[in-house]
Chains A and B, each alone.
Chain A
């Protein structure tokens, strides 16, 4: 436990722009895949499996975010969160919970959690929430997004590829803008549906597929460089690939 705390302390000294995340999750398998996935996405990750160890690490090291499971041995997630807040620690906390009860959700948020995810969740969903929390408070870009020869002007709702003006419907524009705001990040269908159409429940998965298909027909198909890519089983990613 102390060893892993020290390791991240070294990182703290080396790279200032690296984001540090603490995972407190009793299932070792879950913690391992979360750590692997987040590390591969450029985060420095510590994983703790017991409540007390987790709280100790959270109090000792200055993390950018804590991913906290509710059900933990020794000390549960609620107690860790209230203890952190009691000691003045304002590190953002993302709750993972298997029990989806309104009271639990309300309890987590009143204790000062920043967000919660209900199991089972997609990893891309977790990643999206983490980015959202870390970006929170930062100034959102209002200017232009440029990727390869694509240019999106959020202010005038204009999309250009090279010299060609692309004519999009308002929803198509919102969809493209949403994809382009997180280049390189896999976005699941449900995340896209939630952000673009405000659909926060399970619905036909192929609706997003059809919408993306139509967007591609306008944005990608006529051009040699493809920007919208399907990640099979996971969702879509917007990036320039070699």
Chain B
């Protein structure tokens, strides 16, 4: 199962690492990309601006001082001292070179110039072209007027060698890409490390939990020792352990009680059978023996039936068959059953109050019967049993059975709901009873979402209060 779940889900560490890596890649790519394009635009703009100004200056000279060849020559040759302009040429209408400036011999360049911009237009952007020898140029060409006469015009051509800039850009691009890859790898490594470190408490808590065995249920994870994210888990786990430990100790207590409870009658049955068979007996003796056995068997069968009921109630295999009934009428019907016994023991019974209740009638009768039979059993002759029924504003129905019986010792009161538990006082007072009646009553109240409370003020008998809340949903 562990493997199956591993196959289905990626480990949290890997997942976190992947997220770190993706986010680092995104951020780095955005930043480096922006820087690269900003640089490119900047360089590009400066180059264009330079050529545009050069064309503009040449046009101005040709227009305003068409005969001043000295000025024109100066302007054309300006590039001699500057590192920028590599090539300037002025052609006449027929294509013959009027003036030319070139930093080095570059005849290949002349063929690359684009269509010239018209006289009344301003050039904006140049063309990027590579010469066969592998250098990159920004080229611009435009027509220019001479003086005021419209008949004559010149063709202006200017070029800038931008190979070096391109190299710088390319170099920058390579560096940036390298940084990107490195950054992503670094962030992946860091992410993995951080995730591992972050997940460490989880591994630690797993280690602690793994050490807890059924024999060491007293151990606890202790929420206060863990980071805030894990306190809830630790708390829930401790709660689970509390329940488990409780159930375990109850279970072992129950098993030993059960063994004890069964050992006695079976021991008697075995011994009696042996004694009876050891000698020939009269017909009557055999018959009486079998009859006595039958009574023991019936007790055992009743214990088993009660235990089965409890097991069913616990596994919530019981489906409540809720009906609405009159509590007072049902209690009177139950009292009819106990009538003979009550009269025989001279116990006075009173029932006060009324309410209607939505509950499983047969289970309700069982609770009442179990409590009544306890009250009758442990109330001496001449005693009193008062039953009161009431319903409060929240529609919670309560039934209280108060007797003047022998009561329950304070030390025993919290154990009375345990299976087979019978207080010493109860054992002395009556040989009857299996010790399952109140356990069954409690399980029935639990099934209804209600509660059963037992109080026994010294010298004042026992008070049992049943509380039935309004059903959450009617089945």
Contact = CB atoms under 8 A, between A and B. Distances in A.
A193 B369 CA distance: 12
Contact of A233 (B291, B308, B309): B291
Nearest to A212: B340
Given A101-B317, A233-B290, A199 B369 contact: yes
Given A102-B318, A233-B290, A207 B341 contact: yes
Contacts of A100: 308, 312
Nearest to B336: A171
B314 to A, nearest CB: 13
Contact of B304 (A120, A203, A214, A233): A120
A210 B340 CA distance: 6
Contacts of A203: 337, 369-370, 373
Interface string B360-392: 001001100110010001000000000000000
A232 B340 contact: no
B294 A233 contact: yes
B294 A234 contact: yes
A31 B344 CA distance: 42
Contact of A206 (B301, B341, B362, B370): B341
Nearest to B302: A202
A54 B365 CA distance: 40
B288 interface: yes
Interface in A96-136: 100-103, 118, 120-122
Contacts of A210: 340-341, 344
B46 interface: no
Contacts of B338: 207
Nearest to A199: B337
Interface in A175-209: 193, 197-207
Interface string B301-332: 11011101100100001110000000000000
B340 A214 contact: yes
Nearest to A122: B298
B229 interface: no
A207 B337 CA distance: 8
A160 B365 CA distance: 34
A197 B337 CA distance: 6
A147 interface: no
B302 A171 contact: no
Interface string A221-233: 0000000000011
A233 B337 contact: no
B50 to A, nearest CB: 94
A211 interface: yes
A233 B341 contact: no
A100 B309 CA distance: 9
Interface string B277-302: 00000000000101111110110111
B366 A201 contact: yes
A221 to B, nearest CB: 15
B347 to A, nearest CB: 13
Contacts of A122: 298, 301
B312 to A, nearest CB: 7
B298 A204 contact: no
B294 A232 contact: yes
A206 B341 CA distance: 8
B312 A233 contact: no
A211 B365 contact: no
Contacts of A171: 336, 339
A201 B434 CA distance: 14
B319 A102 contact: yes
B315 to A, nearest CB: 9
Nearest to B377: A204
B432 interface: yes
Nearest to A104: B317
B318 A205 contact: no
A233 B293 contact: yes
A233 B432 contact: no
Nearest to B319: A102
A129 to B, nearest CB: 16
A199 B305 CA distance: 14
Nearest to A202: B302
A122 B340 CA distance: 25
Q: Of residues A120, A122, A199, A201, which shows the largest number of chain B Cβ atoms within 10 Å of its Cβ? A: A201
15 contacts: A118-B305, A120-B297, A120-B305, A121-B301, A199-B365, A199-B369, A201-B362, A204-B373, A205-B298, A207-B340, A210-B341, A210-B344, A232-B292, A233-B291, A234-B291
Interface of A: 100-103, 118, 120-122, 171, 193, 197-207, 210-211, 213-214, 232-234
Given A203-B369, A211-B339, 16 more contacts: A102-B312, A102-B318, A102-B319, A103-B317, A118-B308, A120-B297, A202-B305, A203-B337, A204-B432, A207-B340, A211-B340, A213-B340, A232-B291, A233-B295, A234-B291, A234-B294
